[in-house]
Amino acid sequence: MALRTVLAFCLTLMMASAALATSGDQNSIEVWRSPTCDCCGKWVKHLEANGFAVTVNSAAPSTLEQIKRQAGITEDLASCHTAKIDGYVIEGHVPASDIKRLVAEHPDAIGLTVPGMPAGSPGMEQPDGEAESYDVLLVKKTGATEAFAHH
Ligand SMILES: [Cu+2]
């Protein structure tokens, strides 16, 4: 291989790994869920369909509970699955678009939650098309919440 070709190849590799490094933090999301949780699996598919690289961990209910509390998700803010991305916690059926906005805006906060499991949220699609309106809440470091998005 000519030296110039080798150099060009190295440069391409370097650029590719640089691109991976910058997008890695904001695209890689780790999820903890109960192995029997059907809507959790559907939410993971929603994230993958929106370009996230998802790592899924099966966790027993007591472990899940512990992960939520350690992340600052109290019982009234809790839902089924818990995820972490770029230093933030994502609780429940948060739409991928809101996660992308969170990591782009990078607010000083714990993360986002959709408490409970509203019908029609990503992963909670109903066979009859029923959809409730719901808020995505930004959880501040003080534990206070504010509306981040409304759907
Ligand atoms: Cu769910």
Model's pTM, two decimal places? 0.83
Distance 27 CA to ligand 1 centre (A): 21
pLDDT of 18 higher than 90: no
Which bin fits 28, alpha (ψ -120 to 50), beta or left (φ > 0)? beta
Mean of the per-residue pLDDT values of the chain: 89
Tell me what percent of the residues of the chain surpass a pLDDT of 90. Answer: 83
Strands (E), the chain: 28-33, 53-58, 82-85, 88-92, 111-114, 135-139, 145-150
Residue-wise pLDDT for 44-64, tens only, equals 999 999 999 999 999 999 999
How far apart are the CA of 19 and the centre of ligand 1, in A? Answer: 33
% of the chain beyond a pLDDT of 70: 84
Distance 89 CA to ligand 1 centre (A): 16
Q: Can you read off the two tokens belonging to residue 47?
A: 């994230």
Rounded distance from Cα 33 to ligand 1 centre (Å): 9
| Predicted confidence band of residue 25 (pLDDT cuts 50, 70, 90) | confident
Dihedrals phi, psi of 135, to nearest 5 degrees:
-105, 145
CA of 25 to the centre of ligand 1 (A): 24
